[in-house]
Amino acid sequence: MVVDTQNEKPRHRIQLNKVGVKDLKTFLITERSGLRHHIIPRVEFTIDLPADLKGVHMSRLVESMTEVISEEFSIYKSVEELQNRILDALSVKHGFKRGEIIFDFEFSYASKTPASRKRTWEVCDITASTVKAEGKPNIHCAEVRVIGNTVCPHCMANNHGLTHMQRAVGTLGVEGTTDQIPTYGDMIDVIERSFSSPTYSLLKLEDEMHVTKEMYDNPLFVEDVCRNILQKAKEKFEDLTLEMYAEARSLESIHKHDVIAQGQIVVNGG
């Protein structure tokens, strides 16, 4: 006979907002806009716990996710769809008022060098989360982080055209319902077009010359990059209803510290 100690009454009857698993790795396949991606996310999976229950059946959380993903290694049209299905499956095994699942993963995408037009593969970091709350539509948040660069316009204007340049990280986050979340590719495009210049894993000499000239022709503060991300996202996703936020972080080449700029906007499309 199995004794479910999780169902006993706790000593201190206090409701907990999040209980679950963290840093669990799994494997999944998505295909969207004709592009297939194999993803190995690091997963955080939590639900709320009422004040009168001692614990959560942790195995049911992992079991719900594993059963959905293992359905003949199904190919899902988006991470958001998969997270919806996992939370739906868990709600059958383990009742909750609020559940959340978070995937952190690296995302690869094809690109071409700007002058030699050679094929190159780039990688960015993505965090995707879904919240399922009682009586509400599921809400998703997708955050994409891409590496680019900046050139300081202030130094350039006061130093006879000479200035410092540095690698930078641009972040775009969007929040909305399932049918409103844009593709990661579109979010990457917004961020890359917001820097002084994009960066590339592969560069031949003619590409280096092209990128350097593009950077010097387009000097930007981190404030400029952050505003660029928000404006370009607003224009690209004008038909969607989203809360959006952006961050630009400059990994300063002449300082021992970084500098950042952050902002947020709302678009009400449709």
pLDDT for 17 equals 87
pLDDT digits (tens, 9 = 90+) for 115-157: 999 999 999 999 999 999 998 999 999 999 999 999 999 999 9
Which residues have a Cβ under 8 Å from the Cβ of 23 and sit 6 or more positions away?
42, 43, 44
pLDDT digits (tens, 9 = 90+) for 217-251: 999 999 999 999 999 999 999 999 999 999 999 99
Range with lowest mean pLDDT among 91-100, 139-148, 164-173: 91-100
Q: Give the position of tokens 């340049």.
A: 165
For residue 12, what pLDDT band results from cuts at 50, 70 and 90? Answer: confident
pLDDT for 5 equals 62
Structural domain includes residue 86: yes
**In this model, does residue 106 exceed pLDDT 90?**
yes
Structural domain includes residue 3: no
For residue 60, what pLDDT band results from cuts at 50, 70 and 90? Answer: confident
Kindly state the average pLDDT of the residues 75-85. Answer: 90
For residue 183, what pLDDT band results from cuts at 50, 70 and 90? Answer: very high
Structural domain includes residue 210: yes
Distance separating the N- and C-terminal Cα atoms of the chain: 56
Helix crossing, 58-69 with 79-93: angle to 10°? Answer: 140
**In this model, does residue 73 exceed pLDDT 70?**
no
DSSP notation for 189-239: HHHHTTSSEE--S---HHHHHHHHHHHHHS---HHHHHHHHHHHHHHHTTT
For the chain, how many structural domains are there in total? 1
Structural domain includes residue 59: yes
CA distances from 262 to 16, 103, 167, 223, 265 (A): 31, 23, 17, 8, 11
> What is the pTM (predicted TM-score) of this model?
0.91
Averaged pLDDT of the chain: 91
Structural domain includes residue 106: yes
Residue numbers of the domain that contains 215: 11-268
Structural domain includes residue 217: yes
Structural domain includes residue 1: no
**In this model, does residue 83 exceed pLDDT 90?**
yes
pLDDT for 2 equals 55
Structural domain includes residue 5: no
pLDDT for 1 equals 61
pLDDT for 66 equals 84
Kindly state the average pLDDT of the residues 158-176. Answer: 96
Q: What is the CATH number of the domain that holds 138?
A: 3.10.270.10
- What is the rounded distance in angstroms from the CA atom of residue 14 to the CA atom of residue 74? 40
**In this model, does residue 180 exceed pLDDT 90?**
yes
